[in-house]
Amino acid sequence: MKITDRQKAVLKKIHDFIIINSYPPTARDVAEMMGFSSPKAATDHFTSLEKKGYIRKNSLARSIKLTDKAFGILKQGYSYFSFPAAAGHAALSYLPLIGNIAAGNPALAYENIDEYIPVPESFTGAYGADFALRVKGNSMIGDHILNGDMIMVKARSTAENGEIVVALINDEAVVKRFYKTENGIELVSSNPDYPPIRINIKDAGDSVKIIGRVVAVHRNI
C-alpha cells in the first residue's frame, strides 16, 4: 500500500523535528505540529508509517527512527547525484568494527571495539548484522571474499550446512564455509592452498566456536 499525502506530511514533520532538535519527537510533539488535539492521531500515523516501512520505533520515549525508505521519499527531487545527509536519524545500524577478538570472550566485549561503522539496513539483508570484521588473507578467494574486505556478520553460535561463517579457533577469528560431518564439523576454505579444518567435536572443547554468519561483503577498489 502506498503512502498517503497525510502520512507523508507527518513523516516530513518528524524529519524536520529531528533536523531541528537532534532528537526525535514524541506523539504529542507531532500532534502539536500537525494540529491534532489528541496524541492518538499521531500514534495512528506512526502505526501506519511503521507498517509501510517508513519509520521504526519501540515503546520508549522519543525512539522514532526514519528508515532508508523514508529518506528516499523525503529527498525526492533533490538531485541527480549524491547529496550529503542532513542531521537525521536514518535507520542505520552502527556496527562495531571488531579489532582483535580477545581470549576469554565475549567476542563483542567493549574493549575489542575499535570503532563504529554506520551501515544502511539495506546493506545487511533481512536479518541485519551485529558486527563487522576486516578479512585477513585470501583463504576465501574462491567465494570472492578477499584480503582487506570488510564483512558484516550476524552473531550466531550455530550454523547451517554450507554457510559462510566466522569462527574462533584458538582465539583467532577465521572466515570459512561450515559443514557438519559424522564426528564433528569441518571448516573449509575456498582456496586450494588452505586445507580444510576438521574438528572432532568431542576433542574440540572450547577451542572452536562459531560466532556468526557472514551476511555481507564490502570492498573498496
User: Annotated active-site positions, please?
Assistant: 139, 176
Segment 21 to 60, residues that bind a second copy, using CB under 8 A: 21-24, 26, 60
For residue 90, give the DSSP letter: B
Residues 6 or more apart whose CB falls under 8 angstroms from that of 149 comprise 134, 135, 217, 218, 219
Residues 6 or more apart whose CB falls under 8 angstroms from that of 93 comprise 118, 119, 121, 124, 128, 129
Which one among 72, 99, 148, 196 touches a second copy, defined by CB under 8 A? 72
Residue 208: how many CB atoms within 10 A of its CB?
18
Using the rule CB under 8 A, is 161 a contact of a second copy?
no
CB of 47 to a second copy, least distance (A): 19
Segment 1 to 40, residues that bind DNA, using CB under 7 A: 1, 4-7, 26-29, 31, 34-40
Residue the block writes with cell 502505526: 47
The contact pattern for DNA, residues 35-64, with x = CB under 7 A and - = no contact, is: xxxxxxx-xxxx-x--------xxxxxxx-
Residues 6 or more apart whose CB falls under 8 angstroms from that of 130 comprise 95, 108, 153, 154, 155, 212
CB of 10 to a second copy, least distance (A): 15
The residues of the shown chain that bind DNA, judged by CB under 7 A, are: 1, 4-7, 26-29, 31, 34-41, 43-46, 48, 57-63
